[in-house]
């Protein structure tokens, strides 16, 4: 296939139409370890490989697009989080980031707990073999059926999100004659430095019970009033957002949650044994992102909680965190095949791939930024500014908004977009009746589909005519 260079768009130092100043990387063939899974490398022949299996083999076996997950990297990150927090804390993987029965088994084997927020996630968790007592059920509008299934299964905790939910859970526990551990989710009035759609602790949003106006304190009273019906209040839950790098928000959140614990002790003579500060820890989507390591986060959060409890004269409660994205996000990349290359002189080159917003909605939804690499070969062609776009009938169908690729990128090439392990498959859709891609786990030079590719038959199976 001929790979003649396309007319280059803006070069080093140019200002893009959106006003962003950009510069190409020094080496387009280099794979920055900050954004790629640990076993990903570019081999001597120029082909990208993960755990010894190259992308040409992956594309030939599983097709494209495909999510390619580094199993050893996933397991190593689980261990890093568990070891960082130690025996006196709990790490709950947030299933909404990505969940399958294989992932559940890995979590169980690596000693993590699991947070679910729907009946489907609960079903997957139990089918994958996670002990129910290591599950937590979240959600701002749990159905009665979901509550009944969770209580009957014996989940370790249910996080209560409204006055109505307190009553629903209490009615279920009374009817079933069992006790259920619960936490109250509190909105602490912290504006996390993240996108407004994934900031979750300011008062004007759907999650939790506000601390500032006394709603959270009233929720605690109502839970304690239903103790005889089977509710065991064990702690307070707070979550301030997602993709967070600045730990200052957690400090404010912890201070306010500990203040609530102190008020509960003073009013009810009860010291709650648990505090959950949620998740939301950021990952590197581009080399400019600079996330903290698990041991740094564990020390910071532990010190914050210990300091605030010491000020209040409280024994430090058991700490929980929920690093879903921070575990699975960096472990996977999405493999695409280029179909069309369309240079726009003086602007950029549009590179169309065989997926798009149906397998990664985050760019369109959150203005998320991603990196991209030419994966099936190395190239010495000069860099050109590109926009990776999908095949869907939407002008907003963008995968990577602005990046650089070699100017000889051509139809048939394979592109890899790293850091797509979190939320991409979870939020994937059948837009334009597009079957969703498979998730391929690779370990020791061998790949296996842990979630198979959908087919046209799958699409028609639900269409009952």
pLDDT, one tens digit per residue, over 247-272 is 888 888 899 999 999 999 999 999 99
Confidence of residue 23 (pLDDT cuts 50, 70, 90): confident
Under 8 Å CB-to-CB from 198, ≥6 apart: which residues? Answer: 241, 242, 243, 280, 366
**Average per-residue pLDDT in the chain?**
92
Q: Which residues sit opposite 338 in a β-bridge?
A: 353
Residues 123, 428, 451, 38, CA torsion sign:
negative
What pLDDT, on a 0 to 100 scale, did the predictor assign at position 191? 62
In the chain, the percentage of residues whose pLDDT exceeds 70 is 92
The C-alpha atoms of residue 394 and residue 101 are separated, in whole angstroms, by: 33
Strand bridging mode 439-443 / 398-406: unpaired
Strand bridging mode 439-443 / 66-70: parallel
- Tokens 């969940």 correspond to 99
pLDDT at residue 226 is higher than 80:
yes
What pLDDT, on a 0 to 100 scale, did the predictor assign at position 205? 75
pLDDT at residue 212 is higher than 50:
yes
Q: Which of 109-113, 196-200, 359-363 has the lowest mean pLDDT?
A: 196-200
pLDDT at residue 193 is higher than 90:
no
What pLDDT, on a 0 to 100 scale, did the predictor assign at position 248? 84
Structure tokens that stand for 274 in this block: 């648990």
pLDDT at residue 341 is higher than 60:
yes
Confidence of residue 8 (pLDDT cuts 50, 70, 90): very low
Of residues 429 and 4, more confidence is placed in 429
The CB-side HSE value for 283 (13 A sphere, CA atoms) comes to 28
What pLDDT, on a 0 to 100 scale, did the predictor assign at position 69? 98
Q: Which of 112-126, 180-194, 331-345, 447-461 has the lowest mean pLDDT?
A: 180-194
pLDDT, one tens digit per residue, over 388-422 is 999 999 999 999 999 999 999 999 999 999 999 99
pLDDT at residue 19 is higher than 90:
no
pLDDT, one tens digit per residue, over 421-445 is 999 999 999 999 999 999 999 999 9
pLDDT at residue 11 is higher than 60:
no
The C-alpha atoms of residue 418 and residue 332 are separated, in whole angstroms, by: 6
Of residues 8 and 335, more confidence is placed in 335
- 40-70+330-461 and 138-322 have identical folds: no
The C-alpha atoms of residue 161 and residue 278 are separated, in whole angstroms, by: 14
Q: What 3-state DSSP class applies to 75? A: helix
What pLDDT, on a 0 to 100 scale, did the predictor assign at position 6? 36
Q: Which residues sit opposite 152 in a β-bridge?
A: none
**Residue spans per domain, the chain:** 40-70+330-461, 138-322
CATH number attached to the domain at 138-322: 3.20.20.10
The predicted model gives 194-202 an average pLDDT of: 41
Q: Which residues sit opposite 319 in a β-bridge?
A: 89, 275
40-70+330-461 CATH fold? Lyase, Ornithine Decarboxylase; Chain A, domain 1 (2.40.37)
| Residue tagged active-site, from 78, 117, 309, 393 | 393
Q: What DSSP designation does 292 have?
A: P
What pLDDT, on a 0 to 100 scale, did the predictor assign at position 251? 87
What pLDDT, on a 0 to 100 scale, did the predictor assign at position 126? 98
pLDDT at residue 281 is higher than 50:
yes
The answer to whether residue 424 is catalytic is: no
What pLDDT, on a 0 to 100 scale, did the predictor assign at position 197? 35
The predicted model gives 183-206 an average pLDDT of: 65
Confidence of residue 22 (pLDDT cuts 50, 70, 90): low
Please answer whether residues 56 and 407 qualify as being in contact, where contact means their C-beta atoms are separated by less than 8 angstroms: no
pLDDT at residue 314 is higher than 90:
yes
The predicted model gives 305-334 an average pLDDT of: 95
């Amino acid at each position: 296939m001929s790979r003649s260079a396309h007319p280059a768009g803006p070069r080093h130092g140019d200002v893009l139409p959106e006003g962003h100043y950009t510069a190409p990387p020094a080496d387009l063939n280099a794979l920055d370890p900050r954004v790629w899974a640990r076993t990903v490398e570019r081999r001597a022949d120029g082909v990208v490989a993960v755990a010894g299996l190259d992308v040409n083999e992956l594309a030939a076996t599983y097709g494209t697009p495909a999510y390619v997950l580094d199993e050893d990297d996933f397991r190593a990150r689980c261990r890093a989080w568990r070891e960082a927090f130690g025996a006196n804390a709990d790490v709950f993987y947030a299933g909404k980031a990505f969940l399958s029965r294989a992932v559940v088994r890995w979590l169980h084997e690596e000693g993590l707990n699991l947070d679910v927020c729907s009946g489907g996630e609960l079903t997957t968790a139990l089918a994958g073999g996670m002990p129910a007592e290591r599950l937590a059920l979240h959600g701002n509008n749990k159905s009665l059926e979901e509550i009944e299934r969770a209580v009957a299964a014996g989940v370790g905790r249910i996080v209560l999100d409204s006055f109505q939910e307190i009553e629903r859970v209490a009615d279920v526990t009374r009817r079933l004659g069992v006790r259920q551990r619960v936490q109250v989710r509190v909105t602490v009035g912290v504006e996390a430095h993240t996108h407004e759609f994934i900031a979750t602790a300011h008062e004007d949003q759907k999650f939790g019970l506000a601390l500032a106006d006394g709603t959270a304190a009233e929720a605690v009273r109502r839970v304690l009033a239903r103790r005889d019906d089977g509710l065991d209040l064990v702690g307070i839950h707070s979550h301030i957002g997602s993709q967070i790098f600045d730990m200052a928000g957690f400090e404010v959140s912890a201070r306010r949650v500990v203040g609530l614990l102190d008020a509960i002790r003073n009013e009810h003579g009860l010291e709650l044994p648990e505090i959950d500060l949620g998740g939301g820890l950021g990952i590197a989507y581009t080399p400019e992102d600079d996330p903290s390591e698990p041991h740094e986060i564990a020390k910071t959060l532990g010190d914050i909680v210990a300091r605030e409890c010491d000020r209040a004269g409280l024994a430090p409660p058991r700490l929980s965190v929920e690093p879903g994205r921070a575990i699975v996000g960096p472990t996977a990349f999405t493999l695409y095949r280029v179909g069309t290359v369309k240079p726009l002189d003086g602007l950029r080159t549009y590179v169309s791939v065989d997926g798009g917003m149906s397998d990664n909605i985050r760019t369109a939804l959150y203005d998320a930024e991603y990196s991209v690499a030419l994966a099936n070969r190395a190239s010495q062609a000069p860099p050109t500014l590109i926009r990776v776009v999908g095949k869907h009938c939407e002008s907003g169908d963008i995968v990577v908004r602005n990046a650089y690729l070699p100017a000889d990128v051509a139809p048939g090439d394979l592109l890899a977009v790293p850091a797509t392990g979190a939320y991409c498959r979870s939020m994937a859709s059948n837009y334009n009746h597009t079957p969703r891609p498979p998730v391929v786990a690779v370990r020791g030079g061998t790949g296996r589909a842990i979630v198979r590719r959908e087919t046209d038959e799958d699409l028609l199976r639900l269409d009952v005519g």
